[in-house]
Amino acid sequence: MTAKTLDGKKIASEIKAELLAEIQSLSAAGIRPGLAVILVGNNPASEIYVRGKVKSCEELGIYSEKLTPSATSSTDQLLELVHKLNQRDDIDGILVQTPLPPHVDSKKVLMAVDASKDVDGFHPLNVGFLSTQRPGLVSCTPAGIMEILKRSNIPVYGQEAVVVGRSDIVGKPTAMLLINANATVTVCHSKTRDLPGVCRRADILVAAIGRAGMVTRDFVKPGATVIDVGMNNVTDRAEFEKFFKGNSQREQVFASKGSTLMGDVHPEVAQVAGAITPVPGGVGPLTIAMLMANTVRAAKLRRGSSVPELAGERV
């Protein structure tokens, strides 16, 4: 048995097509959603992520603004920038690209973003809305995971779900969304006893640990759905051989780049699982699609009754 591949690129394209229709309806009502991205300094990985976000805005007709304060910017200077964006009516979403330079108080800067413009879904107010099932902005990766499950017709209601990882950005909000969808949820972490045994109970297993290939076939119940959130860069030849020996496609990538991207799930899991997200091309594309969805949602929530009736509200 080989697991069915859950194609994140395809699902992200579907969501973007729906968003395009929503944005056109908003445009007809004189509303253009706007996203501001703050990119501090010159972090090459962050620059790639931001480029992808700006490109998606352009494709959909969302107004985007990239602000690039220098790496020497102080916490107070960044707080002032966030405050100005909070006041602007043409900006519906504010995204502070992390990591910020070490001398900056990251939590203070992220907390300064107005909750109604917090398209990352990190603000405690939005976390509270999620936990009490009120309308708000949900963290992009967890929201994307739920879209993958829904659009792949994978039942969540009454299922046993295990989330490996308890981060505020992925693990905890994913667990909350699964609970809200009536799954029975266990959250695991580094202190969990018999981690493979707990994971084997899962009908839906979400791996968000940040360790390449940690989830092996011993963790997976036959036929389970496995969502791999990990994004790990494998650069060591011995480690590469452990995971991808005999995979000619991966061999070509590794030979040309000296690295390959892989998730937290060992490739052997595909022989046991019923369905699995690939890395790359699984959860990753959904994260940007849901950022776009959150920007549109923020525009609608902020304007309330002035927004035309639109189908397909996402929570």
Alpha helices in 155-247 (DSSP H): 171-180, 195-199, 237-244
Active-site positions? 53, 97, 120
pLDDT tens column, 70-125: 999 999 999 999 999 999 999 999 999 999 999 999 999 999 999 999 999 999 99
Question: Are residues 222 and 87 located together in one domain of the fold?
Answer: no
Into how many domains does the chain fold?
2
Question: Are residues 275 and 190 located together in one domain of the fold?
Answer: yes
Beta-strand runs (E) in 63-177: 63-67, 93-96, 160-164
Asked whether residue 307 carries a pLDDT value surpassing 70, the answer given is: no
Question: Are residues 105 and 144 located together in one domain of the fold?
Answer: no
Question: Are residues 277 and 154 located together in one domain of the fold?
Answer: yes
pLDDT band at 44 (very low <50, low <70, confident <90, very high): confident
Domain that holds residue 48: 29-114
pLDDT band at 306 (very low <50, low <70, confident <90, very high): low
Q: Are strands 232-234 and 63-67 parallel, antiparallel or unpaired?
A: unpaired
Question: Are residues 93 and 145 located together in one domain of the fold?
Answer: no
Q: Which of 40, 142, 50, 143 is nearest to 82 (CA)?
A: 40
Question: Are residues 161 and 65 located together in one domain of the fold?
Answer: no
